[in-house]
Structure 1
Amino acid sequence: MTTLHRLNEHAQEFGLRLRGALHPDKADVAPDGCETLILLGPDEPAFWAIFNASSEYTDGAADPLDRWSQRVLGHLARDWGGTAIFPSDGPPYPPFIRWADRSGQAWPSPVGLLVHDAAGLFISYRGAIALPERVELDPRGARPCDTCPQPCTSACPVGALRPGKPYDVPVCMAHLRSPDGTACRDGCLVRRACPVVRAFQRLPEQSAFHMDAFLGEWRP
C-alpha cells in the first residue's frame, strides 16, 4: 500500500521532501484522474549537496534548478505512476499557492509570504506529482504564526515586506543592489527572522544561489 511516509523516503533519496498533500476537488484544478496531489520541496540541508553535484548545476546552461527539478520529479512521477507538475507550466499556471493552503501545512504569513509548519518562510515547491490513487493524508498542521511574536513583521530594513501591504519589489531590488543590502543578499532578513527557520537548515550557499537568480545574477 502506498503511504506518504514511503513516498517521502523515496523523495529524500533525491534531496526532496514531501511538503504537503491533498485530495483535490474540482476547484483545485488538478489534472484529470488525480486522487492525491503531492507537493515536493527541498530536503534541507541535504538538497544542496545533491543539486550542487548534478549535471544541471555544473553544465553552465540556463535555469539549472528548473531543469534539475524537471528531471528528478519526472523520474519520481514515473516510479509512482503519476504526473509531474511544475510552477512554470503554463499559462495558465498551476495554482500552487492554493494547493499549499489546501494541504494544511502552509498558510499566509503576516507579511504575505507563505509560511510552512516545518520550513517556515523558507518554504519552496520544486513541483507536484498527481497520483491516480487515493493515499491517506496526515493530520493538518498548526499555523506557527498564531503562537509567534512575529519578528518577520519588522525585519525588512526598507519596509518592502510588511503586514497589510503588497510586496514592494522595486524598493526591495533597489536595496539589494545598494551597499546597504549586503546582509539581505546573503538571505532575505524577513525569511531568516522566522522562528521556525531556526530549526530548518538552509546553507548560505543556497540562499546566495537563489538571490543571484532573483537579481539576474547581478552582484556588487
Structure 2
Amino acid sequence: MPQKNRGFKGVAVLDTKKIRKIVLSKLAVTDVWGIGNRLGKRLNALGVNSAWELANRDPTQVRKEFSILIENTVRELNGEVRHSWITDFEELRSALASHAEIVATKLRKQKSLTSSMKLFATSSPHDTEGYFRKLYFHHFAVPTNDTRNIIKVIEHAMSQLYKPNVRYYGCGVGLMDLHNEALFQYDWFTPSNDNTKLMTCMDSINARYGRSTVDIAAKEFEQKFAMRRAFLSPQYTTKLRDIPKIIC
C-alpha cells in the first residue's frame, strides 16, 4: 500500500468491504502492483481510474481484454488468494494431477496425442531460504491423450520434484511432441492402452454438468492448494445464493 495514503503507514488490512472501498478508492489504478503507465492508460480509456473501479470490473471480461495476470489482480483486489504455498507431498502431487487433468482434456478437445511431457515444481525466487526449481521430462512409448496415462507419470516424478521443507510457489504440466489423433499410425507391437470410451464419457459429463463433475481420484477431493475465498465479495448479479433475502 503506497505511503501517500495517510493513516495507514504503508499497510492496510482490507478485511471488510467498507474498508476495502475506502482504501482502494484513494488509489490510482497505476498504484496497483503490476499496473504500469501503459496499461493504466488503457484502463483509463475504459473509465477505470482507481483501484476500486478496477476491483469492480468483471474478471472474466478483463481476461479477454487484457490477460490472466490482470484477471488475477482483479480477483485479488476482491479478496481471492490466487497464489498459495504448497509444502506437503500430497498437496504437490494433487496440484500436478489437477493440472494434468486440465491439459489432457484440452488435448482430447483438439483431437491430439502427446509423445512427451514436462513437469516442473518451483519455489519463489524471492524465498529467503533458497530458490528451488526442478524439471522432469518423460517420453511416452506410445502417444496418448488418456488422463490416466498422463497422471501416472506424476507418481514416478514425485521423488525428484518433491523436496521436504520447500515452500512451492508454482508447479505445472506441459505436453509436447503433439500428433494428429486421426492421422497417427500405431505400432503393431506396442498398441495403445488409451480407453477412448472412458475419456469420452468423462468429457461429456464434465462438459454438460461443469468441470470436475467427474474427477480422477489422484486429484483428491479436497484441494488445499486451491484459491481461498474467505473475503470474497458477494456476487449479487451472478450468484443466486448471494442475492439478499428479505423475510417479511
**TM-score normalized by the length of structure 2:** 0.27
**TM-score normalized by the length of structure 1:** 0.29
